[in-house]
Structure 1
Amino acid sequence: MAKHSNIDQPLSFPILIGDIGGTNARFSLLVDAFSEPREFPIVHTADFATINDAIQAGVMDKTAQQPRSAILAVAGPIRGDEIPLTNCDWVVKPKDMIKALNLTDVVIINDFEAQALAIANMPDAYREPIAPRPDTRIASRVVLGPGTGLGVAGLVHAQGKWIPVPGEGGHIDIGPRSKRDYEVFPHIKTIEGRVAAEQILCGRGMVNLYNAICKVDGVEPALAEPKDVSHAGLDGSDPQAVETLSLFATYLGRIAGDMAMIFMARGGVYLAGGISQKILPALKKPEFRTAFEDKAPHNTLLQAIPTYVVTHPLAALAGLATYARTPGRFGLALEERRWRR
């Protein structure tokens, strides 16, 4: 089995598509380039010792059309022939997968590369505009996903192709600007003394921010789970939760604007992940766009860039399917990430 021979050759249909998270794994089967993917029930990772077992039980045993190749999106960098997963005991071993599942090809990419592939051609029905702007440019884009962590990826448009650019943008520094920021930030839990964006802009980060606001206000935190903070912030039942969502939207707007400038994302900035969908009413208030556009001396540039919340329930799978159908549209780097029989 080689990683480099015919590396750009299209995958063979039927193609198994997978989005592997820490808690759940989602799979679909793309029979050919013209069909819609066939979806399978969500697999709970804790129910299976290995990913091979999960694919066998969750897909192979449920269809007569067996996949010949697979493309999987996983959280974290892909290095070597054994790929450990974040927040899950599975280790993806592509060589073993090829043998055990009788595949000819396995491609493993980063989960936010899959999100980037998805926004190359996201239908209007699955993207909710925040402060609608004209969307007429075929130009580079950015996707951010506050969820378990903060995922970030660019989608560069160059030489007629979409090129996904994964990274660790969720771990950049974030700092205070306003008087209120300077009151709250000293109480944000740090990582070795550093306030990374992910310390605020994710599920646990939302709780971190809520606790800091309670500390400044001298009140005992009444909420301990991200969903409780977001619910109370939206319905107005907890003043500190209301401010948490306001500041969360502000800080997310600042980071989104930074990423838009880094990638010159004139094609738009997309907010993916479950949190963005759940707090959509808060993101549609002025705070997000105000912070997004407040990038002097480049305010005018940011004002022209559209922003969206991705509402597709299976965006990563949709992105992988788009790539599998039309790989020539994308400049996806497969070196060290494709294994063949």
Structure 2
Amino acid sequence: MRLALIADIGGTHVRFALWRDGRPQALRVLATGDYPGPEEAIRAYLAELGLLPDALETACLACAGPVQGDRFRLTNNHWQFGRLALTHALGLRQLLVINDFAAMALGMTALADHERLTIRPGQAATGCPRLVLGPGTGLGVSALLPDGAGGWRVLPGEGGHVDLPLGSAREVALWQVMQRELGHVSAESVLSGGGLLRLYRASCVLDGRAPQFDSAAAVSAAALAGEAGAAAVLEQFCCWLGRVAGNHALTLGARGGVYLTGGMLPHFAGFLQGSGFARCFVDKGVMSDYLEDIPVWLATAEQPGLLGAGLALQAWLERSPA
């Protein structure tokens, strides 16, 4: 029997697995920077398993960026490819390409209760949309819409690139520093790994101090260790995450709840719980009451994007003619 491949392709890493019996198996994580494109990375993954490309029959690639037409270019790395060309190069019968946060959203539908941590308690409204967003190399945003039959449909988008919202004089001043550097300051400009470091440097400029840290990991580690400047930056990061999540929840009507995902947040989950995230999430003036009962969870499951890619592939094959 030929195999099904699933992949979750982000800006920095690609996660590969085989889809068998409704679960990802043979997981491997490769650095996207080590390969010129997905074909070479797929061949390397298969070689590590002792397989040839002709072992594959179908595949689903969940990619960080908008999926439109045959050509695909990832937003935060150098990879680009054509769906038909890649299908032929690998000898596949079928290749499905979806947005990575569409896959992430599908992964949320299969979470067990122990695979999510409550960041903000509330009561999920039955039959209402759910929001999925998370910072990593970029900021992914997607949504789950009830399908009327007890299941969910995914609404992908590029909500990470909305304008960064401003809610205080300090935030205005930080925005001005970053605007001089970037021109357009999107939510992703702050709510991502590179964004946390950018926010730290902008804070140093405002406060007249020399930067001590040169990576997002160093900033968050210092914050958790009690370094005052880094802690203030991480607090601001959490507040901006709350503002952006609240904005999207209002737009979507996401009274079914909000899932936070991505590789960054689990590293400081306790800090996030105690931060101003919840306050900024509901700080919407006359619409604050609308958000008051919406719960927010942090997904702690391993590789939910891969699981979602597998679920997407499975559903697609069930709908496709043999």
TM-score by length of 1: 0.84
2:223 is matched with which residue? 233
Unaligned ranges ≥5, structure 1? 1-11, 331-337
CA distances 1:37-64 after superposition (whole Å, capped 9, x unpaired): 2123222334334422322331265359
2-structure distance, mates of 1:165, 1:329: 20
Kindly indicate whether the alpha-carbon contact (under 8 Å) linking 2:10 and 2:137 is maintained by their aligned counterparts in 1: no
1:47 is matched with which residue? 34
Call closer, same or farther: CA 1:309–1:22 in 2, change over 3 Å.
same
1:300 is matched with which residue? 289
Aligned residues: 319
Report whether the alignment pairs 1:145 with 2:134.
yes
1-structure distance, mates of 2:281, 2:224: 21
2:164 is matched with which residue? 174
CA distances 1:260-309 after superposition (whole Å, capped 9, x unpaired): 11111111111111111122122101410111122232222212111011
Q: 1:10-159 to 2 correspondence within 5 Å? A: 14-31=3-20, 34-59=21-46, 62-63=50-51, 66-135=55-124, 137-159=126-148
Seq. identity, %: 35
User: Which has the larger displacement, 77-86 or 61-70?
Assistant: 61-70
Structure with bigger helix share is 2
Q: 1:209-220 to 2 correspondence within 5 Å? A: 209-220=199-210
Call closer, same or farther: CA 1:169–1:191 in 2, change over 3 Å.
farther
2:153 aligned counterpart, secondary structure: strand
2-structure distance, mates of 1:87, 1:293: 30
2-structure distance, mates of 1:136, 1:13: 42
Once the 2 structures are TM-superposed, how far is the Cα of residue 124 of structure 1 from its aligned partner?
1.6
Paired letter, 2:285: A
User: Which has the larger displacement, 300-309 or 159-168?
Assistant: 159-168
Kindly indicate whether the alpha-carbon contact (under 8 Å) linking 1:40 and 1:59 is maintained by their aligned counterparts in 2: no
Kindly indicate whether the alpha-carbon contact (under 8 Å) linking 2:70 and 2:84 is maintained by their aligned counterparts in 1: yes
2:146 aligned counterpart, secondary structure: strand
Once the 2 structures are TM-superposed, how far is the Cα of residue 21 of structure 1 from its aligned partner?
2.3
1:143 aligned counterpart, secondary structure: strand
Call closer, same or farther: CA 1:13–1:125 in 2, change over 3 Å.
farther
TM-score by length of 2: 0.88
Paired letter, 1:96: A
Unaligned ranges ≥5, structure 2? none
Call closer, same or farther: CA 1:230–1:192 in 2, change over 3 Å.
closer
Report whether the alignment pairs 1:162 with 2:152.
yes
Call closer, same or farther: CA 1:113–1:191 in 2, change over 3 Å.
farther
Segments of 4+ moved more than 6 angstroms: none
* 1:197 aligned to which of 187, 212, 227: 187
1:222 is matched with which residue? 212
Report whether the alignment pairs 1:287 with 2:273.
no
